[in-house]
Amino acid sequence: MSQGKNVQRTLCIIAVGSALFWSGLGYAMDASDAPEVITMDSLENHYDPVEFNHLEHTEMAACTDCHHHTLGIPPTNESCVKCHENSPEADVLSCGDCHLTDRFGIEALATLDDPQLYHRGTPGLKGAYHLNCVGCHQEVGGPIGCEDCHTMKDAGKKMFKAGKYAPVSKGEKGGH
């Protein structure tokens, strides 16, 4: 087994164990408070929205697997602990509250020179989804193909040079 999978499995065990331990401590929010289905449409310019079955996922994973330290449970990531070791439970748990939709937009890039800002390495929203979701899906045999979860729109195909916008190789030009 690869080192990455060992680390991921260990983190999963820690998260589940933590969830079982902390679940009885009276946090205001738990899985029953969340919506059953969440429409993820922040990338709708390039993809059709994803209807994420949140209820189904709460049966397979601990809340902290996705919602990191927003539940008032101390984070384990050393970069987060610097400031969030004693952070209270968050009022809002949306992924987009911490992970920017436009990670490389003017506002986000302007913060890169701020030595006091530790969130410089936080992945954007799309990156966070892919880092968290695809890794877990690989472990459990869930869907991992791009269009297994969402359909790319024509604008996305144009941007990513896919479909009818894909480069044509010399052998495909059908010349003389």
DSSP structure string for 113-134: T-TT-GGGG---HHHHHIIIII
Q: Mean of the pLDDT values across residues 121-145?
A: 85
51 or 121: which leads in pLDDT:
51
Q: What are phi and psi of 66, to 5 degrees?
A: -105, -40
CATH superfamily of this structure's domain 3-164 = Cytochrome C3 (3.90.10.10)
pLDDT at 102: 78
- Tell me how far apart the 2 most distant CA atoms of the chain are, in Å: 74
Question: Does 39 have pLDDT greater than 70?
Answer: yes
Question: Does 53 have pLDDT greater than 70?
Answer: yes
What single-letter amino acid sits at 168? Answer: V
pLDDT-above-70 percentage for the chain: 70
Helix (H) or strand (E) holding 146: helix 146-149
Q: Of the given ranges (8-22, 66-80, 107-121, 133-147), which has the lowest mean pLDDT?
A: 8-22
Please, which residues bridge with residue 38 across strands? 52
